Amino acid sequence: MPSEETDVAVPAVRRHELQLTPSGSLRRLLGTSHKIKLGEGVKVLGAVMYLEPHKGAGPTVCPYATPGCSSQCITTTGRMVYNTHRRARVAKTLLFRSFRADFMAQLRGEVSFHVVKAAAQGMTPTIRLNGTSDLAFWRWEQEWRDPAVQGLRMVEYTKRPATSQMLAAIDRGWSFTFSWSESAAALARSLTWAQHGVNTAVVVAGSLGSKRSVDKAVAAALVQRGSLMGRGTLDGDKHDARFLDPQIGGWVVLKAKGDAHNDRTGFVVRFDEDLLLGTDLPADQCLWHGDEPMPVPPTPRSPSGAAKEMT
């Protein structure tokens, strides 16, 4: 079990330096993104919190991160790469570490405000607290959620193995999507989650060296085919309101973005675009193995035995 993520000593810092922006305003914990905003098209008002991923601000906030995912995290894409954005993520992460009660109190206020705002607009409120982290916020719900808050859907991607606590959180309105990676444990974890209907997000691309436009075409083809390794495929790029996805234990297909386009770790699952786009072969027969050994997901035979990681 990787080291847990709380109660870790960090250098002393002054709280206001973390809570305030350079212009003196309160730095908001929750924000949004282009993909989150796409949810408004389906009457979902989303919000997301971005901390500095993995070990970027001290002890990891991603206890199951892999070399592949941490080197191609979404902080390598778009405006997330700017120093101003990174400084804000680091400040929020240090606030969480050093002044947890203040962090949780502020989060509580922002969550309540978001729910009221969604209600006023006739939308379903969703929040993704782990935009760029993998912390166990479901365990600390009483610290950041006002009991009066109703109708809130929590949406999370995670690399954690399924646990009884997480499954119980699903019954309370949490939606999890397991995130595929090059980890040797990914398949067993994915299958365990699938037994509970939870889908697995997988980042896909064309062969190494292909154009970025090919990644988009590959993702679209996988969604259109409707099946990968015997499990259904869903479009993960339409919006981020994952709780709307049918819970089929399938694949949520995401096209490679940012540095993921050039991934060589196996985190991104690559397909031979000539085969996938030019033939009717089943998608799992179109995997691109390249000229060098790359870890690719084996075809699952049975979910049995995968439940060992359940706690």
Q: Which residues bind ligand SF4 (CB under 6 A)?
A: 53-54, 62, 65, 69-70, 73, 132-134, 159
Residue 246 CB, nearest approach to ligand SF4 (Å) = 24
C-alpha span between 109 and 147 (Å, rounded): 12
Is the CB of 186 or the CB of 286 nearer to ligand SF4? 186
On the 0-12 / 13-18 / 19+ scale of CB atoms within 10 A, 213 is exposed
C-alpha span between 289 and 270 (Å, rounded): 8
Residue 154 CB, nearest approach to ligand SF4 (Å) = 16
Is the CB of 133 or the CB of 192 nearer to ligand SF4? 133
C-alpha span between 224 and 227 (Å, rounded): 8
Residue 10 CB, nearest approach to ligand SF4 (Å) = 18
Q: Alpha carbon of 306 to those of 125, 145, 189, 303: distances in Å?
A: 34, 33, 7, 6
Is the CB of 257 or the CB of 286 nearer to ligand SF4? 257
Is the CB of 89 or the CB of 145 nearer to ligand SF4? 89
Is the CB of 124 or the CB of 190 nearer to ligand SF4? 190
Residue 62 CB, nearest approach to ligand SF4 (Å) = 3
φ, ψ of residue 7 to 5 degrees: the values are: 55, 45
Could you tell me the two tokens for 1? Answer: 């079990």
Residue 112 CB, nearest approach to ligand SF4 (Å) = 26
Looking only at the bridges linking them, the beta strands covering 153-158 and 174-179 are parallel
C-alpha span between 61 and 49 (Å, rounded): 13
